[in-house]
Structure 1
Amino acid sequence: MPNPADRSPPSEEGCTSTLVRCSSSGAVTAAERLTDDFIVEILSRVPTKSLCRFKCVSKHWLSLTTDRKHCKKLPQTLVGVFYSRPSGDGFKESFVQFTSATPRFGSPICTSLAFLPNHRRAILLDGCNGLLLVLWCPNAQGPECYYVVCNPATEKWVALPDPKQVNKEDVLHLGLSFDPDVSSHFHVFAFLKEKDGCEWDPYWSGVEVYSSETGTWVYKDNCWNGDIMLANHQSASVFLNGYMHLHAFHREPYRCLAVVDTKGETATHFRVPGGIYQGFIQKSQGCLHYANFQRTEGTAVIRFVVYVLKDYGSKEWTLKHSSATSYIFGKNLAYLHPHFEWIMIHPDCNLIFFTVGHGIWCYNMDRRQVELIPGTEYCMGPYLPYVPLYSELPSLHE
C-alpha cells in the first residue's frame, strides 16, 4: 500500500462522508411517502449508530437530520472536528477552524465562534459533550485573557473567573468535563506544574477545579505525592464515569492514566498497554479506547493497535484491532514519527483519525482502508471532535 502522502484525495464516497456513516444502504422507496415530521419522529427513537446509517437513505433524510429545528429531537453524532490553523500574525487571523462531516450540506452549528466578541482572538483548549473550552483575549491591545466555555450549537457562552492559586502560565494542562445525562453543570480542571520542576519533567503539584454550579475554583493538593507526571501539554483528556482521565507516567516508570473526580479529591491511576510512542486515549461507543504502536516480539514488525476497556471496574484492556503500520502508511514508522499526530476516534464507529505531515487522514478499522479528508491541508492541534448539544444550560448566556 502506498504512503498516504502520495495519494490523491478520495471521491465523494470517501472518508469525509464516512465521518457520519457507519455503513452504506440503498434508498427506501416507501420512505418517500412519509411526511418530514413523521420521519423525524421515527429517527428520534433510534440509537445514535442507527441514525448514522439512516442518514444514508437519501439526501433528504440527511438534510432533515442537520436541520436546526429538528436537532433537539434527534440523537446526535459527530458533525465534524474543531482544530487550529497556523498563523504567523498571532491573533490577527482566526485560529479556529472546522472540518464538517457533511460538507455538501454545511454545518448546523456556528463553526467560526462568531458569537464571541473578537472571536478571532480565541484559542482552542479542550472540548467535552458539546461544549468547548477556549482561551479568549478580547482586547488586541491589552494582556487580559479569559477562559471561556461555549456551546457552538446554541451560541451561548460564559467567561470564567481566574483560578485562585496561580497564574495561567503555571497551568500544565486544562481539561473540560461535562455529562448532560448527569448534570447541566460543567467543570474545568487546571492541573498546576511544580514550581521547581523543569519543562521536560512536568510533575504537577495540584489541581484547581472550577464548578459552574458554584461559580468558584477549589484547589486540591497532588493526591499522588509526586509519583505521577502528566505526559505533556497536548495530551488528550477524557471525561468518563464522573472522572477525568489523563495520559501520565509513573515514577517506577510505566505508562498509566491519571484519574481524578470533579472535586479534585478522589484520585487513582491504572496502567495502559505499552507501546513505542505516547499512546492516545478517547471515549468511543461508550468505552475508553487506547491506541498506540507496538513492536512484534522477536521481529522488526511494528503494528498499529487499538485496545478497549470494556469492563471499567476490572481495568483490563482488550485488544480490538491490530494492523502492520506498513500496510497503513507504506513507509517506516521512524520516518513518520516527527510528522504523525493522533486526532480522534469516532464516537460511534470504528474510525480513527490522525495527521501525517499536512492534512487529516482517516483509517477504517473494519475495512482496513485509509483516506485523506479534503480541505485539511494545513492544520494543527488540539483536535476536538464535536457532537452538538442543543439543550439550554443555566450557566451559559448570550
Structure 2
Amino acid sequence: MEGRLLRKDTKVLPAPLRRRSKFAVTTARREIHGSPLHRTTAVPPTLQGFFHGNGDLHNGEPQVLPNRKFGRFASLPWMSATPVIDPSFLFLRKALPLTDHIFLLRSCNGLLLFGQLPNAYYNTAELNLSFIVCNPATEQWVAVPGCGCIDDELSFILLNMHISLLFDPAVSSHFHLVLFWDNVDVSGIGTATIHTYSSKARAWSHSDTDWSEEEKQGPWEGWRVRQMVSENSSLHGRALVDGLLYMILGNNLILQIDEQGKTRRIIPAPKVRVDAANYVVFVGQSQGLLHCIVEQGHEVVPSLLAIDGSRVRRRRWRSRGLSVWVLQDSDTQEWIFKHRMSTRQLFGKRSCRRRDGYHVVTMHLDCNLIYFVRHRDAQMISYDIDRHEVHALQSFEDDYGPITPSNTITLIPYVPYLSELFVGVLGGHK
C-alpha cells in the first residue's frame, strides 16, 4: 500500500498537510551521507510491524522475557516475514542475566521503553519500578533508575502511571521520559504529579520539589488538579511532534507538553457536530503533523427490555462515523478536516461502541494509513485514506480471544532506527 500513485479523483491535500516526517527525512539524510557513527543505507526507516501482548499481569505475576505474549512480532504484509529484530530481546537477557522481570511499555522513533522490577520483587510488598531504554536495531541500551516516588504494588502502578518516551533523532541523540502519576484521595479528587527524566542530565526532576511556585501555578497547570489523564491517552492517545508531547485529556481536550513535563497548551479537539457527542479516540503523528481521530454519535434508547418481569431501559451507542483532522497550527489551534469514514465501512456494522467495538492502534508515519483492531474477533485492519480501502491484516484471536474490558491487547508499533548515534548517550551499553 505504500508508494502507490493517487487516483485521479483523489483530493489533494494542501502542501503543509503532506509534509513528510522530519524524522524520516533527517535520518535518511544522515544515513546517506555516511557519517562514521552511522550505518550506511539509502532507505529511510518506516513502520515494520507491531510487538503484541496483553499488556498486564499474567497469572498474577509480572511478564518476563522471554515471554510468549511479548516475545512476538507481527510484521506488516509488505515487509519480510522474518522480523527485522529478535522479538525475544536475547541481547537484553544476556546483558542482564540476573534481571528476570522486564516488560515492554512504549516505543518512540525506533527506541523501546521497558519497565524493570527488582529480583526481590516477590519478597517485598512494595517496589520501585525502574526502566530500560534500548535500540533493538543496534542492540544498544541504557538503564534508567526509578524516580523514587512510586512505591506500591505493581498492578496499582500500572493502573495509575502514564509514561511516555520522547526521542527525536533529528534534534538529539538523547531521550526524555515524561511520567504522570495519578493520586486519588479518599474523596475521589485526583491530582497528577509529573516526573521527567533526561538522559543527558541522567537525573529525574519532580514537579512537587523541583518546580517553582510560579511554575506549579502556571496558567495551564490547573488541569492536574481538576482532571486526570484520559484512559484513551494511556492506550491510544500520545504523539511526539516537533519535540512536544500531545496527550488526550478527558474526552475532547488535547494536552501539549514539553520535555520537562510542563503544559504548553490545552487544545480543544475539533467539534465535528454540535448536536452529537464528540470523543477523541486517537492522536498520533503522521507525515510530521499531529493527527486527531474523532468519533461522533449519541446514545439512544430504542426499546424497553423485560428482564425477570421488570422493565429496564437498554441504551445503545449509535455512531455517526469517524473523522480525521490535522492540526495546522498549534498557536492558532487551527484544525483542518482531512477525511471521514463510517463504522460500517470499517467494521461491517452501522453502530460500533468506541470502547467495546474497536480501538485505533496507530497511523503510519509517512502515508495515509490508519491501523485498527476490531474487538469482536481481535482482527487488525488497515484503512487507506487515499483509496478508501479496508484491508484485513493479522488476527490475534487465536492468541488472545475476543477483546473485552478484562481481556485487552497491547500493540506497540516499531520503526527501526538504524543509526548508532544512540551509543553516545551517557551510560549506554552495547
Give the TM-score normalised by the residue count of structure 1.
0.73
Q: Partners of 1:182 and 1:318 in 2: how far apart?
A: 27
Q: Which residue of 1 aligns with 2:47?
A: 78
Q: Which residue of 2 aligns with 1:287?
A: 289
1:151 aligns with 2:135: yes
Structure 1 position 204, deviation (Å)? 3.5
Counterpart of 1:215 in structure 2: which amino acid?
R
Structure 1 position 362, deviation (Å)? 0.9
Q: Which residue of 2 aligns with 1:210?
A: 197
Q: Partners of 2:100 and 2:280 in 1: how far apart?
A: 32
Q: Partners of 1:162 and 1:214 in 2: how far apart?
A: 15
Q: 2:236·2:362 contact (CA, 8 Å) conserved in 1?
A: no
1:397 aligns with 2:429: yes
Q: Partners of 1:336 and 1:48 in 2: how far apart?
A: 29
Gaps of 5+ in 2: 7-19, 25-37, 209-215, 272-276, 299-317, 401-407
| 1:34-93, Cα deviation, whole Å (9 max, x unpaired) | xxxxxxxxxxxxx789x9xxxxxxxxxxxxxxxxx9764431111112221578544363
Q: Which residue of 2 aligns with 1:325?
A: 343
SS in 2 for 1:310: strand
1:364 aligns with 2:364: no
Counterpart of 2:107 in structure 1: which amino acid?
G
Gaps of 5+ in 1: 1-17, 26-46, 52-68
Structure 1 position 320, deviation (Å)? 0.4
Q: Partners of 2:340 and 2:189 in 1: how far apart?
A: 32
Structure 1 position 359, deviation (Å)? 2.3
Structure 1 position 290, deviation (Å)? 0.6
User: Per the alignment, do residues 278 and 308 of structure 1 end up closer, same or farther by CA in structure 2, a change over 3 Å counting?
Assistant: closer
| 1:104-131, Cα deviation, whole Å (9 max, x unpaired) | 4523223332221269843221111111
1:115 aligns with 2:133: no
Q: Give the fraction of aligned pairs with identical amino acids, expressed as a percent.
A: 29
| 1:259-318, Cα deviation, whole Å (9 max, x unpaired) | 22112345321111245444200000110001121239xxx7612211111223321111
Q: Partners of 1:280 and 1:197 in 2: how far apart?
A: 31
SS in 2 for 1:148: strand
Structure 1 position 94, deviation (Å)? 3.1
Once the two structures are superposed, the pairs formed by residues 278-357 of structure 1 within 5 Å of their partners are 278-295=280-297, 302-334=320-352, 337-357=355-375
Q: Partners of 2:241 and 2:21 in 1: how far apart?
A: 18
Deviates more, 1:357-366 or 1:267-276: 267-276
Q: Which residue of 2 aligns with 1:23?
A: 4
Q: 1:197·1:203 contact (CA, 8 Å) conserved in 2?
A: no
Structure 1 position 100, deviation (Å)? 1.3
SS in 2 for 1:234: helix
Q: Which residue of 2 aligns with 1:98?
A: 73
Q: 2:50·2:74 contact (CA, 8 Å) conserved in 1?
A: yes
Root mean square deviation, CA, Å? 3.2
SS in 2 for 1:226: helix
Q: Partners of 1:270 and 1:104 in 2: how far apart?
A: 40
Q: 1:208·1:220 contact (CA, 8 Å) conserved in 2?
A: yes
Q: Partners of 2:262 and 2:169 in 1: how far apart?
A: 22
Deviates more, 1:278-287 or 1:259-268: 259-268
| 1:311-340, Cα deviation, whole Å (9 max, x unpaired) | 233211111001222222221324674131
Q: 2:45·2:415 contact (CA, 8 Å) conserved in 1?
A: yes
Q: Partners of 1:103 and 1:391 in 2: how far apart?
A: 20
Q: Partners of 2:40 and 2:46 in 1: how far apart?
A: 11
Q: 2:319·2:350 contact (CA, 8 Å) conserved in 1?
A: no
Q: Partners of 1:264 and 1:48 in 2: how far apart?
A: 24
Counterpart of 2:241 in structure 1: which amino acid?
L
